[in-house]
Amino acid sequence: NAGVTQTPKFRILKIGQSMTLQCTQDMNHNYMYWYRQDPGMGLKLIYYSVGAGITDKGEVPNGYNVSRSTTEDFPLRLELAAPSQTSVYFCASRTTTGAQYFGPGTRLLVL
Amino acid sequence: GQQLNQSPQSMFIQEGEDVSMNCTSSSIFNTWLWYKQDPGEGPVLLIALYKAGELTSNGRLTAQFGITRKDSFLNISASIPSDVGIYFCAGQNNAGNMLTFGGGTRLMVKP
């Protein structure tokens, strides 16, 4: 199993541009999550999904959108990039017992 | 909302020393998780705890789920340079689908 994979690893965006961060898991987990981590800080939950077709907001959802059309994929969409969205983004999936497994992250710089 | 207090915030120790860190919560959790994050990487799950009083080991790491269900401890024995990183605790309660993360303990090991 590859676990949780994320693409791209790094991206530079101009203010106002849009992009989609991809996340895929091959563990057949129903639960998936998107977090952001600012330098020297902990993880903040952006959105999560408990299964295909179901998504819900986390702590910091503003400026982001998600979709969950399949069990494997959980893309995160930034529509109008802002400097405040410069961060490292982590995707995770969760087992039925609650343990979350994280991807390697996407580093985003908005200039 | 729920808060997790993780201490210490940072530790600078000599190689070979034992390390202890802990997390305390204002409310009860049903699951405690401990993660390690290396620079530029995603958090990696070290130990998962599911029962009050549970003591679980993973090599030189040992973690305990507190009897009150409001705290957890992580011990590292005979530290080595590759133990350097940030350690996060995370708790999940029965009512939610989300993890609450501690602020992290930054561990530095002097060879």
Q: Of A32, A39, A77, A5, which Cα lies nearest the Cα of B98?
A: A32
Angstrom distance (rounded) from CA A84 to CA A41: 14
Residue B96 predicted with pLDDT over 90: no
Contact status of A48 with chain B (Cβ, < 8 Å):
yes
Q: Which residues contact B46 (CB under 8 A, 6 or more apart)?
A: B34, B35, B36, B58, B61, B63, B74, B87
**Closest Cα of chain B to A15: distance in Å?**
24
**Whether A108 contacts A86, CB under 8 Å:** yes
Angstrom distance (rounded) from CA B88 to CA B36: 6
| Biggest CA pair distance of chain A | 40
Q: Of A86, A104, A80, which Cα lies nearest the Cα of A38?
A: A86
CB-based burial label for A67 (10 Å; 0-12, 13-18, 19+): middle
CB pairs under 8 A between A and B: 50
**Whether B48 contacts B33, CB under 8 Å:** yes
What is residue A13's predicted lDDT score, i.e. its pLDDT?
Answer: 97
Q: Which amino acid is at B56?
A: T
pLDDT per position as a tens digit, A17-26: 999 999 999 9
**Closest Cα of chain A to B39: distance in Å?**
10
Confidence of residue B94 (pLDDT cuts 50, 70, 90): confident
User: What are the DSSP E strand ranges found in A4-111?
Assistant: 4-7, 10-13, 19-25, 31-37, 43-51, 54-57, 64-66, 76-78, 87-94, 100-102, 106-110
Q: Which residues contact A31 (CB under 8 A, 6 or more apart)?
A: A48, A49, A50, A51, A93, A94, A100, B97
Q: How far is CA B78 from CA B49, B65, B85, in A?
A: 22, 22, 15
What is residue A88's predicted lDDT score, i.e. its pLDDT?
Answer: 97
Q: What does the pLDDT profile of chain A (111 residues) look like in tens digits?
A: 789 999 999 999 999 999 999 999 999 999 999 999 998 888 999 999 999 999 999 999 999 999 999 999 999 999 999 999 999 999 999 998 889 999 999 999 999
Contact status of A50 with chain B (Cβ, < 8 Å):
yes
**Whether B45 contacts B28, CB under 8 Å:** no
Structure tokens at A27: 């563990």
pLDDT per position as a tens digit, A57-78: 999 999 999 999 999 999 999 9
Residue B1 predicted with pLDDT over 60: no
**Closest Cα of chain A to B86: distance in Å?**
10
The fraction of chain A above a pLDDT of 70, given in percent, is 100
Residue B2 predicted with pLDDT over 70: no
